[in-house]
Amino acid sequence: MKIRMEIFYKPKNGTNQYELSTDFMPVQEALFLSEDLEKTGRIAKLNFLDETDASWLKKHLKKYLESLKEEPHNVLIYFDGGYNEEQRLSGVGVSIYYEQNDKYFRLRKNDRLEQLNSNNEAEFAALFAAINELENLGVHHLPITVKGDSLVVINQAKGEWPCYEEEHIRWLDRIEAKIKELGLTVTFEAISRSENKEADHLATQALAETFIDATSEVKGY
């Protein structure tokens, strides 16, 4: 979750009060900044707002942070799908980055699927696999970010492009149902192929029957 602040500021000299607003930032950063600002003695009021515009009290934000420590959070997903038209085989690759117990982790997983009809369908299958993996991690009722290089999948998942293909509609229905079941708030972001190399490599490895299912600690993301 990210937080923005509405700050009601009173200058040292003068009677006017000014309303300022920050960009969204991690909860820890918002709490640190708010405490630093309050030390000036010039803050009349501070409001904390999340990405849904819900208001939070500072004490509740601190409790939220404590409750998250042992659960995966700040989740970032990369997904990609590959398709071998001649063999009608698909490879799906997923990288999931998350924080847990004040450490950073990366989960990498791939799989090979049969009976899909196109590269686009393989991309949808990869996204569905990623969301399913969140359930295995115990991620629920959190905001997550999903990045992929398929404009079709990203824009149809965002509802910005119409979806007429029956296969796509079926996958979207499954994806949306799982997102709703887990109570997730998803931000979809289209990225270039060069930014999606890790998930692409996993999908390619799956087509070559090199299967990966590994979690490792990383320095950050």
Cβ pair 78, 95 in contact under 8 A: yes
Residue where a domain terminates, one of 19, 37, 68: 68
What would the pLDDT profile of 48-101 be if each residue is shown by its tens digit? 999 889 999 999 999 888 877 788 999 999 999 999 988 999 999 999 999 998
Domain span at residue 89? 73-218
3-state secondary structure 175-211: HHHHHHHHCCEEEEEECCHHHHHHHHHHHHHHHCCCC
Partners of residue 79 on adjacent β-strands: 94, 148
Q: Are residues 50 and 87 in the same domain?
A: no
Here the tokens at position 100 are 């847990």
Grade residue 136 by pLDDT with cuts at 50, 70 and 90: very high
Which of 68, 93, 124 is where one domain is finished? 68
Whether residue 170 is found in the same domain as residue 108:
yes
The total number of structural domains that make up the chain: 2
Q: Work out whether strand 2-9 and strand 43-50 pair parallel, antiparallel, or are unpaired.
A: antiparallel
The residue with greater pLDDT, 142 or 218, is: 218
The structure's pTM equals: 0.77
